[in-house]
Chain A
């Protein structure tokens, strides 16, 4: 029966992530709107209804050298990042995979980041080079060798972004590891006690430092304001996902929402010690899952407050901010020893 259990929990967690991810997008927009002193869209509009609407549009072939790969990226990424959620589930701890470790999770996170680079280099939107406008004279000397699409520039920036801005979240993930003296998710969760007798890492000094650094890393992972240089609206319009339309854009929205949910869920698992348990046989199991989902709302709410007050940071500001929080994270690591 072990086999069946882990499949059931994977399915249940997938459904939860697919439902709450898009809702998070709406909550983010709504909170920002209230900060901006306006009513703002209904909570389901920016996420759920938009996705359903995009799915009901007519599919088309994007301007891309590899249309199928470009369209396949979001669904593939959704599946891969859902693995992070599954691996934190207790039914998966016992599987003979040895993947329920934070090292494996960090490795999977890297994929999501690299995916944007691929996405950017495959997109050829009409909004830059191919815009029909006569600005290049035939026979004139062109100064640059390449005319680059906005998405190409976005891909270049994503390479820099994943090099610099990912440090904080990785350091923060390893603070609970150092405290529990184990890279296994199981040990990190058990270190914080059982659900009824919980002493979360968050409420210790190193844990709190780690949570702050995790939060900054979380914003950087989501490419949300102020860490949105690679998708800056001011010059790149939207960056890599520019060419997604119709159902593919719906998939892209889901990917963003699910990524938001998965990272929040990882935070709850590591810093509150409440893993996403799927156990409908007892009240304890159900309340644990409900508690887990409720706590995942914390980070998106905080992110939307931060992003409402942050301008885009260019690399000039990004380097000090990222290295500063990495230093704080290292300090947290030393405290945790």
Chain B
């Protein structure tokens, strides 16, 4: 079902610097009175040419750069890039390293979702609850800093396992588990507070609807797709997550409220995974050195970033240098779908709709 991209009187270009967009990109909204009849999003502002830089670079250095593709989901970029080599050269990694990778990645997903709540509420205009999102987020940031040594670029996975400094002692695991309880309770109270606020609900309910057909047509991925009824989560295919008991959250309505609720419910699943992780983490080595770099054909890996499907593929030549690096991030398709989802909305709601897929332009432009 194609939505009508109708005639427009006025064009409002927004960006590059804007409080609702944060990152430099430029949506152009075509309006009739105040209703958006067409939308066009120009993306190239943050193109750094990362894929071009990667050609012929040693794979260790490549991993330093992949981590800096994005500062919100840095762990998953690094992990997926490492997995490409591990898959291509058949490296099996120790179980403790698998646990640690999942823990760091899920903590990162949690902070990313909490930023989303903060950002969405900031656009709605509710500064108080936006700030509460950052209160809820800070314990997890501190925990990440203690576990990995950096608040944003954790540099946790390396080929064959994890970096030894990310290996927590038993005391640290116990302490983290103790910290997790109150922080999770705060997140729960906070989520309840959002979902019970009538004024906020009236702003986000029924806004920016993306039906399941549209979601499939535009290949929407990640939480945005799961809140339009498309059940796809790449974490179910990844062996490291087999140690954990968790559910994929799928909701059907596809409006902004559903996208918020889906992430709220996903947050609780993340906390479930984290608790299991800190409780059951096995002892042992965190890194195997039982492998050698060599020629590797082009290998493809998928992973679930906080915003959806992440794709990495490259091959190695005989010296262990990267060839034909390719990377695709979730926001590209999500934003394309949001161009459609925001049609027929008021301008203020359209900006909210575009932001409700949690766009991350630094990944998308690379």
Q: Which of B30-38, B163-171, B299-307, B313-321 contacts A (4 or more CB under 8 A)?
A: B30-38
Q: How far does the alpha carbon of A67 sit from the alpha carbon of B278 in the complex, in Å?
A: 63
Contact residues in B for A153 (Cβ distance below 8 Å): 10, 12, 347
CB distance from B347 to the nearest CB of A (A): 6
Checking B26, B31, B124, B203 against A144 with a beta-carbon cut-off of 8 angstroms, the contacting residue is B31
Checking A37, A150, A311, A312 against B131 with a beta-carbon cut-off of 8 angstroms, the contacting residue is A37
In the complex, B97 has a CB within 8 A of chain A: no
A138-157: contact bitstring with B at CB < 8 Å (1 yes, 0 no)? 00001111111010010011
Q: How far does the alpha carbon of A48 sit from the alpha carbon of B7 in the complex, in Å?
A: 48
Contact residues in B for A233 (Cβ distance below 8 Å): 19-20, 122, 125
In the complex, B13 has a CB within 8 A of chain A: yes
Main secondary structure of the interface of B (DSSP, over half): mixed
A41-52: contact bitstring with B at CB < 8 Å (1 yes, 0 no)? 000000000000
CB distance from A120 to the nearest CB of B (A): 13
Interface residue tally on A, bucketed by range: 35 or more
In the complex, A163 has a CB within 8 A of chain B: no
Is the CB–CB distance between B351 and A234 below 8 Å?
yes
In the complex, B336 has a CB within 8 A of chain A: no
Is the CB–CB distance between A234 and B123 below 8 Å?
yes
In the complex, A135 has a CB within 8 A of chain B: yes
Is the CB–CB distance between A235 and B30 below 8 Å?
no
Contact residues in B for A313 (Cβ distance below 8 Å): 199, 203
Q: Which of A79-87, A211-219, A222-230 contacts B (4 or more CB under 8 A)?
A: A222-230
Is the CB–CB distance between B20 and A135 below 8 Å?
no
A304-325: contact bitstring with B at CB < 8 Å (1 yes, 0 no)? 0000111111111100000000
Give the A-B contact count at a CB cut-off of 8 A.
Answer: 123
Q: How far does the alpha carbon of A153 sit from the alpha carbon of B8 in the complex, in Å?
A: 14
Interface residue tally on B, bucketed by range: 35 or more
Q: How far does the alpha carbon of A290 sit from the alpha carbon of B113 in the complex, in Å?
A: 51
Is the CB–CB distance between A311 and B13 below 8 Å?
no
Q: How far does the alpha carbon of A210 sit from the alpha carbon of B31 in the complex, in Å?
A: 38
Contact residues in A for B123 (Cβ distance below 8 Å): 234
Contact residues in B for A310 (Cβ distance below 8 Å): 125-126, 199
Chain B, Cβ-Cβ closest to A37: B135
In the complex, B18 has a CB within 8 A of chain A: yes
Is the CB–CB distance between B347 and A308 below 8 Å?
no
Is the CB–CB distance between B45 and A315 below 8 Å?
no
Chain B, Cβ-Cβ closest to A149: B12
Q: With A127-B17, A128-B13 known to touch, is A312 a contact of B125 (CB < 8 Å)?
A: yes
In the complex, A129 has a CB within 8 A of chain B: yes
CB distance from A232 to the nearest CB of B (A): 6
Contact residues in B for A156 (Cβ distance below 8 Å): 34
Is the CB–CB distance between A143 and B38 below 8 Å?
yes
Is the CB–CB distance between B128 and A235 below 8 Å?
no
In the complex, B14 has a CB within 8 A of chain A: yes
In the complex, B352 has a CB within 8 A of chain A: yes
Quick one: which of B125-144 are within 8 Å of A by CB? Answer: 125-128, 131-132, 135
Main secondary structure of the interface of A (DSSP, over half): loop
Q: How far does the alpha carbon of A275 sit from the alpha carbon of B199 in the complex, in Å?
A: 37
Q: How far does the alpha carbon of A36 sit from the alpha carbon of B212 in the complex, in Å?
A: 38
Is the CB–CB distance between B352 and A234 below 8 Å?
yes
Contact residues in A for B10 (Cβ distance below 8 Å): 144-148, 153
Q: With A146-B11, A310-B199, A315-B346 known to touch, is A131 a contact of B16 (CB < 8 Å)?
A: yes
Contact residues in A for B34 (Cβ distance below 8 Å): 156-157, 315
Checking B16, B18, B19, B126 against A311 with a beta-carbon cut-off of 8 angstroms, the contacting residue is B126
Quick one: which of A178-220 are within 8 Å of B by CB? Answer: none
Q: How far does the alpha carbon of A313 sit from the alpha carbon of B346 in the complex, in Å?
A: 12
Contact residues in A for B122 (Cβ distance below 8 Å): 233-234
Contact residues in B for A143 (Cβ distance below 8 Å): 7-8, 11, 30, 38
CB distance from A124 to the nearest CB of B (A): 13
Is the CB–CB distance between B347 and A38 below 8 Å?
no
Q: How far does the alpha carbon of A85 sit from the alpha carbon of B350 in the complex, in Å?
A: 41
Q: With A135-B26, A153-B347 known to touch, is A128 a contact of B14 (CB < 8 Å)?
A: yes
Checking B38, B127, B348 against A235 with a beta-carbon cut-off of 8 angstroms, the contacting residue is B348
Contact residues in B for A314 (Cβ distance below 8 Å): 203, 346, 348-349
In the complex, A35 has a CB within 8 A of chain B: yes
In the complex, A32 has a CB within 8 A of chain B: yes
Contact residues in A for B20 (Cβ distance below 8 Å): 233-235
CB distance from B28 to the nearest CB of A (A): 6
B172-211: contact bitstring with A at CB < 8 Å (1 yes, 0 no)? 0000000000000000000000000001101100000000
Contact residues in A for B127 (Cβ distance below 8 Å): 32, 36, 225, 308
In the complex, B58 has a CB within 8 A of chain A: no
In the complex, B94 has a CB within 8 A of chain A: no
Checking A36, A226, A237 against B19 with a beta-carbon cut-off of 8 angstroms, the contacting residue is A237
In the complex, A133 has a CB within 8 A of chain B: yes
Chain B, Cβ-Cβ closest to A35: B128
Pull 22 A–B residue pairs with CB atoms less than 8 Å apart, ordered by A.
A36-B128, A36-B132, A133-B45, A135-B28, A143-B38, A145-B10, A146-B9, A147-B10, A147-B12, A147-B13, A150-B14, A226-B125, A232-B125, A237-B19, A309-B126, A309-B128, A311-B124, A311-B126, A312-B125, A312-B348, A316-B202, A316-B346
- Which A residues form the contact surface with B (CB < 8 A)? 32, 35-38, 127-129, 131, 133, 135, 142-148, 150, 153, 156-157, 225-226, 228-229, 232-235, 237, 308-317
Closest 10 CB pairs of A and B: A312-B125, A144-B11, A311-B124, A234-B123, A311-B126, A144-B8, A235-B351, A311-B125, A36-B131, A135-B42
Q: What 8 additional pairs, Cβ within 8 angstroms, besides A133-B26, A147-B12, A153-B347? A: A36-B127, A128-B14, A143-B30, A144-B8, A229-B348, A235-B351, A310-B199, A313-B199
